[in-house]
Structure 1
Amino acid sequence: MIEPQPLVAMIHAVPTAHRIAEEAFAREFPRATVWNVLDDRLLDDARRAGGLTGALRRRMLRLIGHVMDGGAQALLLTCSSYGEVVDTARALWGVPVLKSDEAMFRAALAGPYRRIAVVASTPPAVPAAVAQLEALVPAVRPDRPLEIVTALSEEAATADEAAAGHLAAALHAAGGAGADAVLLAQYSLTPARAALAELVGVPVLDGAGAAARELRELLAPGGPSVAAAAVAS
């Protein structure tokens, strides 16, 4: 039986992702009860160790076990660095567990887009996003061609309100002006989504919003988002 207010847990490595994901769920899946767990040492410890170690994987699995024991009906890991732990979690627990951006990648690949641009403000985010996107192609759209364009704007990381302009400029310089859709490779860029969409004139997808919509369809099918309800009224 589907709960009227399904409990969705989110594990974060940075406080910014916590806020952005909560805003996305409030907009796209307001029926969900959101449970936030923050371990703000996860990224620093992974960087210091030179990547994920066995101890860090076990630490993330303990955090996942904590929310599962607490009754979580779904889980979103907002830190892409720990995405590889998801496969283990899926084998151990029988509830939906999402990597930070995989719902966004699936939505993009399932859409009518032939040319997709991936934008980021930190260099490691670009190859990581492209690798995940390409890995999903055989399962989601094996028979349709796809061109991926990437753009990096490190200025956008600290530009706040001007981030959209920096991203649009980087996209144009990278030859991505003709893209059919733009994907934000980091949660931190989500506040620039609407302004960037206006500047480039094509849909701009973000990971948190896509995750909220996917989990809404899994846990509360047919339930409207706040945005949809506003349009209907």
Structure 2
Amino acid sequence: MLEPRPLVAMIHAVPSGAHIAQQAFAREFPEARVWNVLDDRLLDDARSAGGLTASLRRRMLRLIGHVMDGGAQGLLLTCSSYGEVVETARTLWKVPVLKSDEAMFKAALAGPYRRIAVVASTPPAVPAAVAQLQALVSAVRPDRPVNIVTALNEEAAAADGAEDTARHLAAALYAAGGGDTDMVLLAQYSLTPARDALAELLGVPVLDGAGAAARELRDLLAVPAPERAEVVAP
């Protein structure tokens, strides 16, 4: 039987991602007791090694084992680079384990949206997000095609505030021919603060990975949630 306030662990590779994920859980799943684990060498070591090595996979699994031994009832890996370790973790532990953006992609594909845009401010985030999105199509909506549009604006990474970030992303999306998209997905947690401003500019729903993950874990852990205002629709 789950406790009234289930223990949800999050493993982070960068402090900024940890902060954004904590805000998302406070907003979407305040009933959870959140346990944050940070290893701020994960990304640098993966880059130095040229990708995920067997040693790095074992290291992430040790971190996962640490929170599982500590009683975690759900887990979110906020670092997308280590998403492939999730499949192994799911065979070892029988609690929900989510990749950073998995819930966002599933929510987008489960909806009525036919043309979905992926926006980012760093080049590696675009192909990674598109690959994950495409990999889920056959499982979530095999009978309905989806048109994926991508937009990259590196200036958004250094923008002055959420509204400026949103303007950069919107400009990139229009330049990429994505002005008629039905939904926009933020490919990085760091773009989450611009979500609402971007939704207002574009007039379509905008989803962020951390918020979608918090909602999915809330549902998976069967915690009754009070009525909340919808935050992704303009």
TM-score range, shorter chain: over 0.9
Distance 2:156 2:228 in 1: 28
Provide the identity percentage: 82
Shift of residue 225 of structure 1? Answer: 6.1
| Cα pair 2:15 2:40 within 8 Å, conserved | yes
Shift of residue 221 of structure 1? Answer: 4.1
Distance 2:183 2:76 in 1: 23
- Find the counterpart in structure 1 of residue 195 from structure 2: 193
SS at match of 1:210: helix
Shift of residue 49 of structure 1? Answer: 0.4
TM-score of the aligned structures, taking structure 2 as reference length = 0.95
SS at match of 1:3: coil
| Cα pair 1:155 1:166 within 8 Å, conserved | yes
1:171 aligns with 2:158: no
Shift of residue 227 of structure 1? Answer: 4.2
For residues 130-162 of structure 1, give each alpha carbon's deviation from its aligned partner in whole angstroms, at most 9, with x where no partner exists: 000000000100001110000001001111411
| Cα pair 1:122 1:152 within 8 Å, conserved | yes
User: In structure 2, do the counterparts of structure 1 residues 22 and 127 end up closer, same or farther at CA, with 3 Å as the change threshold?
Assistant: same
For residues 17-75 of structure 1, give each alpha carbon's deviation from its aligned partner in whole angstroms, at most 9, with x where no partner exists: 11100000000000000000000000000000000001100000000000000000000
Number of equivalences: 228
- Runs of 4 or more off by more than 3 Å in structure 1? 225-228
| Cα pair 1:29 1:225 within 8 Å, conserved | no
Shift of residue 115 of structure 1? Answer: 0.2
Distance 1:174 1:119 in 2: 10
1:203 aligns with 2:196: no
- Find the counterpart in structure 2 of residue 231 from structure 1: none
AA of the residue aligned to 2:43 = L
- Find the counterpart in structure 2 of residue 214 from structure 1: 216
| Cα pair 2:125 2:187 within 8 Å, conserved | yes
AA of the residue aligned to 1:87 = E
Distance 2:201 2:177 in 1: 15
Shift of residue 224 of structure 1? Answer: 2.6
| Cα pair 1:182 1:203 within 8 Å, conserved | yes
| Cα pair 1:27 1:227 within 8 Å, conserved | no
- Find the counterpart in structure 2 of residue 38 from structure 1: 38
| Cα pair 1:28 1:225 within 8 Å, conserved | no
More RCO (CA 8 Å, sep 6+):
1
User: In structure 2, do the counterparts of structure 1 residues 42 and 33 end up closer, same or farther at CA, with 3 Å as the change threshold?
Assistant: same
What value does the CA root-mean-square deviation take over the aligned residues? 1.0
- Find the counterpart in structure 2 of residue 121 from structure 1: 121
Pairs within 5 Å for 1:12-23: 12-23=12-23
TM-score of the aligned structures, taking structure 1 as reference length = 0.96
User: In structure 2, do the counterparts of structure 1 residues 227 and 24 end up closer, same or farther at CA, with 3 Å as the change threshold?
Assistant: farther
SS at match of 1:151: strand
Distance 1:206 1:177 in 2: 19
AA of the residue aligned to 2:143 = D
Pairs within 5 Å for 1:1-233: 1-161=1-161, 162-224=164-226, 227=229
Query: Which residues of structure 2 form unaligned runs of 5+?
Result: none
Shift of residue 222 of structure 1? Answer: 3.3
